[in-house]
Structure 1
Amino acid sequence: MAAESTGIFSILCDLDSNDESSDLILPAGDKVRVTNIDNAWAEIERNDCRVLIVRSDKAFDKAVGFLKEVRRRYPGLARILLSGELSALQAGIASEVVHSILQPDCDLNDLQQAIKRALKAEELINDKKLRQFISSVGHLPSFPEVLGELNEVLESEVAGVKEVANILQKDPAMVAKIMQLVSSAYFSGGYNTPTTLKEAVKLLGLRAVRDLALSIHVFEAFPQDDRWRSFSFQQLQNRSIVVSQFAADICKSAGFNRQIQGQARTAGLLHDIGMMILALNNRDNYHKAMVRAQELGQPIYVVEKMMMGVTHPQAGAYLLDLWSLAPETIHAILFHHVPMASGDTEFTPLTAVHVADSMLPPLFNAMGCNLGGRLSRDYITRIGMLDKLSEWDRMAHEYASQIPTHA
């Protein structure tokens, strides 16, 4: 069955072949095949390229290095890696930069679905109204140096508790906050409360503590001031931490690996940071939007779009894309209120974040506006997980008690 035309320009960079008549069939549309990175750069710069597919079994480091540089220079491109079996470390590294990892002999429809999914997310992040809003914001916080160092060590073969702890200790304020959070009930469960940073890293895991450090930095980069009283940033963070734990547990209970769990956990930690961006940079309009959402009985993201032209998931995803977070994490944040719009037909980290955010008790703002999500049964049905709702509901009741009710 022939695939429908995508109407886009695609590049296949096949690093394992010297023959540009590759046997891989791309979805219909304008496309070109090249066999080396220099030619791929030339085609990207010459054409209005929207999709880059890199195929490589023999040159993983070279392929991922190229894809990282492409993301830095051309962030709007859909990036697909075709590769055979990868180690857990390689899969984790690749997932930080590409939208999808597929087998070299993948079905044409699977490839087309991956391309459509990536382009849909990139189009929302690069929406004209969103960019106009962000340009009016002025300064956005930069990615912290300590987290850059953590990412580097996590991509190496030497990553361990000692190495991660040594990097974190360069930022005493962050260490203090990590210890404060890890000692709380919703991390330690009241058992074996860690007393040292190394114990905390061991309890959480290397990537989990990196994610927590990132969350701490984000919330500190957007401090609440006296001019914003419509909701508490601290309560938003408290709830987001529990959403992240619940989302990771949903992935684990469904049998997904640590990579998927980590992507869901990170997305859960950061799924609502766009609210702070909107609140601090357009206070009056955002307050009016929240009042209007309460009056209409509509979800806040609907009224955000109606009154401000952007939504808080878009604003948060935009910042995290600037910081080069994993595309799958950004995807989960971007669609956590509207998973049907994602086009997903199977379980992804988005599933876990949507379920966790929707099933946990919501945060209400000062006007009584519900800032949480609404469960999409249509989406849960589409991905074939309707039979999991009773289990997730039981888990939600257990996690609900861990959300602090005070600021």
Structure 2
Amino acid sequence: MDQFIIHGGQKLEGEISISGAKNSALPILCASLLNGTSNIIHNIPQLRDIQTIKKLLISLGCKWERDDKTVYLDSTNISTMQAPYDLVKTMRASVLVLGPLAARFGYARLSLPGGCAIGARPINLHLDALRKMGAEITLSSGYVEVKVKKLKGARIYLDIPTVTGTENIMMAAVLADGETVIENAAMEPEITDLANVLVKMGAKIKGQGTDSMIIKGVKTLRGFKHTVIPDRIEAGTFLIAGVITKGKVVLRNADPAQLYALIGKLRNAGANIKINKELITISANDKLRCVDIKTLPYPGFATDMQAQFMALMAVSDGLCVITETIFENRFMHVSELCRMGANIRIEGAHAIVTGVKKLSGAPVMATDLRASACLVLAGLVAEGETRIQRVYHIDRGYVRIEEKLRALGADIIRAKSAH
């Protein structure tokens, strides 16, 4: 098992390029199941989660070829409509094959995805929507089975603006009979990216990027070529890396519009940020101050940036409150930050952070993807050596993060753990 060994105290300086968005690539790859032909998708990141969806799509009968960042995916000869437990258990986003399979074949059988380290995240909203569209759904032996002669358009209100739920319903609706209206839809940029792909395939969609979408079903869909949007969470993490080390970092291939909430908070904290089209330059002086944040669905402050922002607040002046409203168990990084000398206490959904002058390197353990990034950021600024165990979590969402950080001047290596 790999670990990161970090010697903190280096200012990060230089320029890096942001990878394609994992949370956009995954639904777009699944959308290729809808058209039964060949598709070309550019800017696919080299990540563990992409490898998982590759195995799942191949198991269904897709042909997959890869050339650097481009995937050639052909869904002509699907041989099974079943997603097995051994693949689904490793990544909850596997549920995104449910809508496309039900829409194209009228049948799907999927192992129920479990919870994850940061919360339960059930798929009941996905299933309720498919029922409203005429599907018969049965649950047995840990599997959900969806049967329908032909999906029918429906009016669907989501109690929570679930991202994967919105994506599954969109993909189901594009081949359904009639019109589907999704209300209280999630509005993340990755959903707009998926909608743009579906439109390229011939789907009729209005309202993408808003909380109300209207989708008119069509009979068939064609192949597509598409370039995946930049990963706003990777971009945000490197912005914080530049600030926390008092360095100067330039991000290329980033979309500032997707980072509006984070950029605002970083400026409030004292960071200097310049934006020039798809270039973002960030630097910081010696005085950073604590600012409150509250995670909210997009366009609010992203829950996927909460842990990284907390690492920055841990070494900023003053006191702040970080409120987590999206996931019920997303403060697991707090105990590890405190091992490094942070002053943080938890009160329900709130973390009260009192900034300290310095963190100290320590052996710590990553518990989930974004907690891993938080600990890397803390290690970059801590005195002495930090060893982070279980970095396989970070490989799910960051493309060779240690290499990108080293290119900016960080003292970080990947090594085998002793255990």
TM-score above 0.5, yes or no = no
Q: TM-score by structure 1 length? A: 0.29
Q: TM-score by structure 2 length? A: 0.29
**Higher share of residues assigned helix:** 1
